[in-house]
Amino acid sequence: MFRLEGKKAVVLGVANDQSIAWGIARALHAQGAEVALTFLNEKAAPHVRVLAEQIGAPIVMPLDVRDPDQAKALFDEITHRWGRLDTLVHSIAFAPHDDLHGRVIDTSPKGFGLAMDISVHSFLRMIRLAEPLMGQGATCMTVSFLGASRVIENYNIMGPVKAALEASVRYAASELGAKGISVHALSPGPLRTRAASGLSDFDALLDDAAARAPTHHLATIEDVGAYAAFLASPEAFNVTGGIHLIDGGYNVVG
């Protein structure tokens, strides 16, 4: 079994114990990595700090990806404490309510730009800050969804946003491959997370996914964490640029 002893990771996007980001953070820690966590704001801070204590996170800091000063402070602290970074996990997405619940063609310019900035460009910004700390075998991961390549009812503007994120993963993988840094998107099927619950008719989507998936099981945050831990390991050194589907085979059914 692969192990991550001595590895240093930062996980962005933990909100609570149902977050995909938490499933990943917990799996990385279980395999031996030291894991830093961030929280969005003071409202989220108590929830994240409790989780940070469970894995002994040595760094727990605020990060609104729209704030360059907070981003710089985070990576300055990683540099000061660790001097390097092996794994970056970005599990952050957002779209304004009205734009998320309306037709894609009715999306406001401001809402479209904000969704792209927070959900896509912030990943590229975080990679750029992490790159000087990364060496051969390091990895960067983000989280996507099947709605990037198929029309999923009620996923709306997040479909084009995730498509852009997946394209960014491929280009970043190409650009960083020569340095031995891999880039990935993890694409679980529908999960019962707080963020996903903002979608219309979300319960119906979950029921349909479970019924149609070949395994008849929804993915869990533990499933996603296990896959992420493998991608962070030395055994995955020659894997990069992929959109990794973790959905019980839901993506293969018509």
Catalytic residue positions, numbered: 155, 162
The whole-angstrom separation of Cα 3 and Cα 16 is 25
Cβ-Cβ contacts under 8 Å for 50 (sequence gap 6 or more) = none
Please state, in angstroms and as integers, the Cα–Cα distance from residue 86 to each residue in 57, 67, 81, 131, 234, following that order.
15, 23, 14, 10, 11
Cβ-Cβ contacts under 8 Å for 37 (sequence gap 6 or more) = 10, 11, 14, 25, 48, 51, 52, 57, 59, 60
